[in-house]
């Protein structure tokens, strides 16, 4: 699916289901008018309506369909009949069909048909014409594969996503821009794929999973005349999105037999979260998963692969909009408590020479920088490509680096500022000033262990120790420290000795 289709689908689905937050009264006609306004984002030729009829306090829409062509795929959604009924208390109930199909046709002629079903879906709109709120609940919401047709071959299989115990709300409002927000609680999300490849000598894919306690939240800002055919212009015109999810736990199993090779295994996690934000000024992403456990068996390896992580995390933020003042950026990596099975260890270290403590790799970098261009504006792309320095670096801080592996530990912290008016002291870059301190514990014992295992020649270890002696000083038993300084004159000093 193309980028424009993805943006269009995300925005329009949220807006369509949302309608527009609660205050006064809303009528059935106003809710239907708001639906039509949101459907118009697909393009005037993409929406067809069999008929619409107002009877008293009810609007009935028959044969509502969407047909979207992005140049590579055609998507047809037949939503059937929808009714908007006033409840007498200033709210409107929306009733949709219990199920409806979605057909996606690729440029190769393959047609994938998906069936969307909902059980005991309740959708009530409150608010007024300018600001509406949708309160939604359902016992089950299911997306499942109906079939795949490729010429004279029809392919079927059990592929589904079932969300259970749904509740949440969607709100929208508008002035010069349209604002959409939603929050959705899902008690459990069940995933299933059970597919046998036709005419493929018994090849198959089987997988299932269950996610417990999912919460989804998001906020979106849309230009009133959003053009999803030109997605690069959206951000310059005010498009912005932020949101994410949390889960309590997840568990998955899979068994795949394809092209003569079989892979099977399981994955489980504890609590996990993901958060992202993107607008004309900045891009940010943050993800974290706790208690990750992976177990894989494959014919390509002689033993099972068992890996565990106490915590996995990754995150970044960066400014992308031109500004007169420096803005924050950062990068974070966290692999805490990495373990592998004894069988894997024994392949590398059968004599158990190396300590098998859980490994950790952490990196936390922050700073400030000033973009010289609007990095998401296509009109500035040519000037950006010609620039030697599209982003001006102002500060850089190493909050933490920590690497613990096989009995050795490396840690470090530091901070630097950069003078962008001085590009000559260190040619081609702004002059830095600051210092960083690194500590190394257990590196000599690690090198001795690697020599005894035959993984490192003794002469290479001696060379490595000589290098450490040049750039580090002894602070204790198998403990080393290195202090790197850059002063105001651009001199580089290591442990008090000037190197530049």
Ranges of each domain in the chain = 1-247
pLDDT in tens, 438-487: 999 999 899 889 888 888 888 888 888 888 877 888 989 999 999 999 99
- At 229 the pLDDT is 64
The tokens for 330 are 């950062």
Q: What pLDDT does 468 receive?
A: 80
CA atoms within 13 A on the CB side of 18: 27
Euclidean distance between CA atoms 61 and 50, whole angstroms: 8
Gap between the Cα atoms of 317 and 281, Å rounded: 11
The two structure tokens encoding residue 90: 């200033």
Instruction: For residue 349, give the nearest of 227, 464, 484, 453 by alpha carbon.
Output: 453
Is residue 58 within 8 A of residue 28, CB to CB? The reply is yes
* CB-neighbour burial class of residue 310 (10 A; exposed 0-12, middle 13-18, buried 19+): middle
For the whole prediction, is pTM greater than 0.75? Answer: yes
State both tokens at 363. Answer: 């990196």
Question: What is the distance between the alpha carbons of residues 131 and 129, in angstroms, rounded to a whole number?
Answer: 6
Which residue positions in the chain have pLDDT lower than 70? 1-24, 200, 227-232
Cα maximum dimension of the chain: 93
Which residue is associated with the tokens 């998401």? 376
Q: In the structure encoding, which two tokens stand for residue 368, read together? A: 């400030």
- State the pLDDT at residue 231: 64
d(CA 480, CA 473): 5
Partners of 35 in the β-ladder = none
Helices first, then strands: H and E counts in the chain: 7, 27
How many other CB atoms are there within 10 angstroms of residue 230's CB atom? 11
Cβ–Cβ < 8 Å for 199, 243: no
Query: Distance between CA atoms of 251 and 293, rounded to whole angstroms?
Result: 9
Phi-psi region of 182 (alpha: psi -120 to 50; beta: other; left: phi over 0): beta
- Distance between CA atoms of residues 312 and 293, nearest Å: 11
Measured distance CA(436)–CA(417) in Å, rounded: 12
Distance CA 67, CA 61 (A): 17
Q: With contact defined as beta carbons under 8 Å apart, do 358 and 338 qualify?
A: yes
Structure tokens at 104: 């996606």
pLDDT at 40: 76
Locate tokens 């979605």: which residue? 102
- The tokens for 206 are 């089987």
CA distances from 376 to 81, 368, 379, 394, 486 (A): 41, 19, 9, 21, 34
């Amino acid at each position: 699916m193309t980028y424009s289709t993805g943006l269009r689908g995300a925005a329009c689905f949220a807006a369509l289901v949302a309608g527009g937050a609660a205050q006064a009264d809303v009528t059935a006609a106003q809710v239907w008018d708001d639906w039509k306004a949101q459907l118009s984002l697909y393009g005037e030729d993409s929406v067809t309506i069999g008929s619409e009829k107002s009877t008293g306090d009810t609007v009935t829409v028959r044969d509502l369909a969407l047909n979207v062509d992005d140049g590579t795929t055609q998507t047809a959604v037949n939503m059937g009949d929808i009714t908007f009924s006033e409840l007498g208390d200033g709210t409107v109930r929306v009733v949709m069909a219990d199920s409806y199909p979605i057909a996606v046709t690729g440029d190769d002629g393959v047609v994938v048909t998906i069936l969307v079903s909902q059980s005991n879906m309740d959708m009530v709109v409150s608010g007024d014409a300018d600001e509406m709120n949708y309160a939604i609940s359902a016992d089950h919401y299911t997306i499942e594969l109906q079939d795949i047709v490729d010429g004279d071959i029809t392919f079927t299989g059990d592929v589904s996503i079932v969300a259970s115990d749904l509740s949440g709300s969607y709100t929208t409002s508008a002035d010069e821009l349209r604002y959409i927000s939603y929050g959705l609680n899902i008690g459990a999300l069940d995933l299933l794929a059970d597919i046998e490849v036709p005419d493929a000598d018994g090849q198959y894919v089987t997988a299932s999973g269950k996610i417990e306690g999912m919460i989804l939240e998001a906020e979106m800002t849309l230009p009133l005349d959003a053009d999803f055919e030109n997605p690069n212009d959206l951000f310059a015109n005010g498009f912005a999105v932020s949101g994410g999810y949390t889960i309590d736990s997840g568990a998955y199993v899979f068994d795949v037999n394809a092209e003569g090779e079989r892979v099977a295994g399981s994955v489980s996690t504890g609590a996990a979260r993901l958060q992202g934000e993107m607008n004309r000024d900045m891009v940010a992403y943050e993800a974290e998963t706790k208690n990750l456990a992976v177990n894989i068996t494959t014919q390509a390896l002689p033993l099972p692969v068992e890996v565990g992580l106490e915590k996995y995390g990754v995150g970044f933020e960066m400014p992308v909009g031109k500004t007169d003042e420096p803005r924050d950026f950062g990068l974070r990596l966290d692999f805490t408590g990495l373990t592998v099975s004894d069988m894997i260890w024994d392949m590398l270290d059968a004599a158990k020479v190396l300590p098998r403590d859980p490994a950790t790799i952490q990196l936390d970098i922050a700073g400030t920088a000033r973009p010289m261009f609007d990095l998401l504006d296509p009109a500035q792309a040519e000037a950006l490509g010609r620039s030697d320095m599209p982003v001006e670096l102002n500060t850089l801080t190493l909050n933490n680096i920590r690497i613990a592996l096989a009995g050795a530990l490396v840690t470090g912290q530091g901070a630097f500022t950069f003078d962008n008016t001085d590009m000559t002291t260190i040619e081609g870059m702004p002059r830095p000033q600051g210092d960083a301190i690194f500590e190394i514990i257990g590196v000599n014992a690690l090198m001795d262990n690697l020599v005894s295992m035959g993984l490192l020649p003794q002469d290479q270890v001696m060379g490595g120790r000589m290098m450490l002696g040049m750039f580090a000083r002894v602070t204790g038993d198998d403990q080393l420290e290195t202090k790197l300084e850059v002063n105001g004159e651009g001199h580089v000093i290591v442990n008090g000795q000037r190197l530049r």
